[in-house]
Structure 1
Amino acid sequence: MNTEGFISTIDLFPQLDSKLIEVLRTLSDKDWQKPTLAHSWCVKDIAVHLLDGNLRTLSMLRDGYFGSSAPEINSYRELVEYLNQLNAEWVLAMKRLSPTIVIELLEQTGKQYSAYLKTLNPMSKAAFSVAWAGEQESLNWFHIAREYTEKWHHQQQIRAALGKEHELYSGELFQPYLETSMRALPFHYRNTKEPAGTAIKFIVKGETDYEWFLCSDGDTWKLKQASDRSPTSEITMSKEISWRIFTKAITPDEARKQIVSKGNKQLAEKIVDMVAVMA
């Protein structure tokens, strides 16, 4: 359970939701059906998936209603498959809703969702762990930050389909997304053994340069904002490529062509297949 490096995202949800509603209200009928980076999902499918996130959180965590029992789940892969099934069933059922209804429901439930999150003690145990960071138990602040990354990247998928990505790259909104997603790095590199003192520097180019260091003590990796060690490897990626990597919106081979690595390239480029979503 990660008790260090608190990331505050709770006050950003209303702003992020407002930007979502704003862009959805500009869409034509054709825009709602545009394909997205979310594989088979169109813009409307992602919008109703975001609605599902609001409703499921309110139903399960606020109201204590979990619906039908989940099957026995014994692995991360089985959990992902179960969630994918739930998501597909919801998206199919929501085909019957109009875009107007979807917007109205997103606006109403988004406010309730944000209000509920504010009732949680950030340092208490969360109902759900952040599995992609390797945690079996998480604190509420990390669960909330993970939920922020979900809302951020799904809205960005919609915006990418419309050619309107720039809105979410403001430092206020983008930095917390990156900061949270990068928490997957130590878990992602867990089976990569390097001598103590090995450091990998990661740079994401945005309004400013965002930097992290992944440092090995010989047994485990620690993510740091700064390091007094000279990096063994260094990797630089654009803001546009970073979130696509973390959400499997680009293949590892495609990602390698659009990043710059120095030093031990094999070590640095392991990031191209990192995920910071349940996938």
Structure 2
Amino acid sequence: MKSPEPILVAPLFRELDGHLLNLLRSLSPKDWQRPTVCSAWSVKDITSHLLDSALRRLSMQRDGYVPPDAPKGFASYTELVAYLNRLNSEWTSATSRLSPTVLIGLMEKFTAELAEFFESADPFAPALFSVAWAGESESLMWFDIAREFTERWHHQRQIADAVDRSTPIDERHLYYPVLDTFMRALPQTYRDVSAPEGTLVAVKVVGQAGGDWFVRREANAWKLYYEVEDVADSVVTLDPSIAWKLLTKRTDRATARARFPNLRIDGEIAYGEPVLEIVSVMA
């Protein structure tokens, strides 16, 4: 069995955000107001959010700036998510007065600075922010950078869906690292699932950007692996067109099955179904 390795995506930010800028420059005034799967956000709101995430990281991580009203800590994951949701709401409300042209100009400048910051960072240094959705209270920088990459990827994908455009970010070298990062949430997702020692669950994303991930019950915990030779007790198969949507939306099992009818679970259904509740974003 092969254990997970670091996901080093810092060199990919310039390309990813370059595709975003090209997409944004092609939008009509009507496109900017189109609704997205983020129910409260339009295309313009998501664009504002992506600018905010770049500015916040540069301010706090690169420049060491701590806002005077920043909390010292959070009593729970729920409290942290509520705080982030408040910041997001405040920002999208304030930037509603900015034109698309202004947003694109700001995005062009600060995504370049963000890429430069990530390229210069030590991937194995401690991260300022832990990847809480993976169950970590402390993370290395490579994981935090990979988490930011998934954030920028999936919101760009939501914009492309909203305006009905194909996008080059579906290519393997950009999409596979996103899936690989998302799957780091599997052990956390399974933490309360009881199963006999050695129980093995496989998650397969088909297609050229896909891959196989496994969680195995060992010593009263679940561990993530690749390239497992044993036969899995349950196999969850996802089409790439739905994989990112499932992994970024907290939902219950019945809703997930109704929303993604071509999702397949073979073998022991009870061991595969927890995958439907995975969440690889702060939600």
- For normalisation by structure 2, the TM-score amounts to 0.94
Q: Return the offset for 1:266.
A: 2.0
Aligned mates of 1:209, 1:160 — CA distance in 2: 20
Q: Return the offset for 1:208.
A: 5.0
Please point out which of 251, 266, 271 is paired with 1:267.
271
In structure 2, the CA distance between the partners of 1:82 and 1:191, relative to structure 1 (3 Å rule), is same
Aligned mates of 1:43, 1:85 — CA distance in 2: 19
- Pairs within 5 Å for 1:15-26: 15-26=15-26
Computed over aligned residues only, the root mean square deviation of the Cα atoms, in angstroms, reads 1.6
In structure 2, the CA distance between the partners of 1:92 and 1:209, relative to structure 1 (3 Å rule), is closer
Aligned mates of 2:268, 2:223 — CA distance in 1: 18
Identity of aligned pairs, percent? Answer: 43
Q: Return the offset for 1:166.
A: 4.1
- Pairs within 5 Å for 1:235-246: 235-246=236-247
Aligned mates of 1:45, 1:145 — CA distance in 2: 23
Runs of 5+ unmatched residues, structure 1? none
State whether residues 176 and 209 of structure 2, in contact with CA within 8 Å, keep that contact through their aligned partners in structure 1.
no
Q: After superposition, what is the alpha-carbon deviation per residue over 1:210-268, rounded to whole angstroms, capped at 9, x for unaligned?
A: 11111111411111111122110011011121111111187643432231111111220
Alignment partner of 1:191 is 2:186? no
Runs of 4+, deviation exceeding 6 Å: none
Runs of 5+ unmatched residues, structure 2? none
User: What residue is the counterpart of 1:276 in the other structure?
Assistant: 280
Secondary structure of the residue aligned to 2:127 is coil
Q: Counterpart amino acid of 1:118? A: E
Q: Counterpart amino acid of 2:32? A: W
Q: After superposition, what is the alpha-carbon deviation per residue over 1:24-58, rounded to whole angstroms, capped at 9, x for unaligned?
A: 00100110000001111000000000000111011
In structure 2, the CA distance between the partners of 1:267 and 1:204, relative to structure 1 (3 Å rule), is same
User: What residue is the counterpart of 1:77 in the other structure?
Assistant: 78
Aligned mates of 1:133, 1:164 — CA distance in 2: 31
Q: Return the offset for 1:119.
A: 2.1
Q: Return the offset for 1:167.
A: 2.1
Secondary structure of the residue aligned to 2:120 is coil
User: What residue is the counterpart of 1:174 in the other structure?
Assistant: 175
Q: Return the offset for 1:169.
A: 1.3
- Pairs within 5 Å for 1:4-153: 5-71=5-71, 73-153=74-154
Secondary structure of the residue aligned to 1:118 is helix
Could you tell which deviates more after superposition, 20-29 or 188-197? Answer: 188-197
- How many residues align? The count is 277
Could you tell which deviates more after superposition, 253-262 or 87-96? Answer: 253-262
